[in-house]
Amino acid sequence: MVLGNRKSIKIIPNWLFKRYIYIWIRFKDKSFNILDVKQEFKKTTHQSLNELVVSGWLLKDTNDSSASYRALSPQEIMEYIYFDSFILA
């Protein structure tokens, strides 16, 4: 997995947070791809996945022909946001 923006996790808007929650409930910390997401959810798109990756909430692995994703746990996200906001501030 590419760690990417893991150190710079950003706070996201409510609509994107809902997409993250749906993904976390369904896949937890297991890898998934865009086809898995399309089978499970009607409204989650490439754009949503990309924004979650850019915001640091999803990790993206591009080592194979089709990208796979893994969601960070809510605990990991809150720890990084807390660390960035209060420890590094």
Q: Please state the φ and ψ torsions of residue 14, each to the nearest 5 degrees.
A: -55, -45
Greater confidence (7 vs 79) lies with 79
pLDDT above 90: residue 62: no
User: Domain 9-87 classified CATH 1.10.10?
Assistant: yes
> What is the tens place of the pLDDT at every residue in 42-51?
877 889 999 9
pLDDT of residue 7: 59
Which residues of 1-89 form beta strands (DSSP E)?
32-33, 58-61, 68-71
Full-model pTM = 0.81
